[in-house]
Amino acid sequence: MRSHRQGTSLLHLDSSASGRRDSVTRRLTARYADVWRDLHGSAGYRYRDLAAEPVPLVSPAFVSLGVRVERHGSVPLPKVAELAEGPAEEREWALTLPLITEVRAARTVLLGVPMYNFSVPASLKAWIDRVTFPGAFLDGGTGDRLLRRTTVVVVTARGGCYAPGTPREGFDFQTPYLRAYFTDLGVAPENLHFVHAEMTRASDVPALAHFAPLAADSLAAARTAVSALARLPAAHGGTAARTP
């Protein structure tokens, strides 16, 4: 199965457990999506709320099917179902294929990722584990990476500050993990963008109140960054956007 990416398409994923009123990442990704739809229309837009409609955790049947596919070498996605043994594996593949298809079809993937315990939400990790199926993002004929021209925009929010040079920089396992994951999946480094909103809890945690100006500046910069990125052509490249 080859992706069909005529025109421009956006896959928008939110993973925050908070609603839009309380979630910084949801508001920022919505801003990106609004700008994008103003430019391109809604026909190519696809939204998935990973918190409201969780992707099921992978099961032993998912693992056994994946191992069997790897042992057969390069297996085109339409042929994977033929290797499924029993209803459990068939069910796992039925849950997995639509998610992989969405990613392959998208020219841009937009993720809202709050920092939970120094890393990513479990809802996003469940999605990552399921779409990362053996050979799903490789061209079966050439071995080429199918996502090498896909743009990925990761919008994060952190209650504290984990920017380079800060005391807690080393506690950020969110950015390095997602950078390693998407580049290993085949996304070109120049097409992977990060936008960070720092100190988002300064307005409601008394101990962080004196960081309120930093939080306001970071959020303003993040809003500007997502709007600018939404206007870029897909796979435009350039330097990953960062906010303080």
Spell out the SS3 assignment of the chain: CCCCCCCCCEEEEECCCCCCCCCHHHHHHHHHHHHHHHHHCCCCEEEEECCCCCCCCCCHHHHHHHHHHHHCCCCCHHHHHHHCCHHHHHHHHHHHHHHHHHHHHCCEEEEEEECECCECCHHHHHHHHHHCCCCCCECCCCCCECCCCCEEEEEEECCCCCCCCCCCHHHCCHHHHHHHHHHHHCCCHHHEEEEEECCCCCCCCHHHHHHHHHHHHHHHHHHHHHHHHHCCCCCCCCCCCCCC
Q: Which residues contact 239 (CB under 8 A, 6 or more apart)?
A: 190
154 CB neighbour count, 10 Å cutoff: 25
Q: Is 118 annotated as a binding residue?
A: yes
Lookup: tokens for 6 = 């005529």
Q: Is 181 annotated as a binding residue?
A: no
Q: Is 191 annotated as a binding residue?
A: no
* Straight-line distance from the first to the last Cα atom of the chain, in angstroms, rounded to the nearest whole number: 41
Residue pair 192/156 in contact by the 8 Å Cβ criterion: no
Residues tagged in the binding site annotation: 16, 115-118
Residues tagged in the binding site annotation for FMN: 16, 115-118
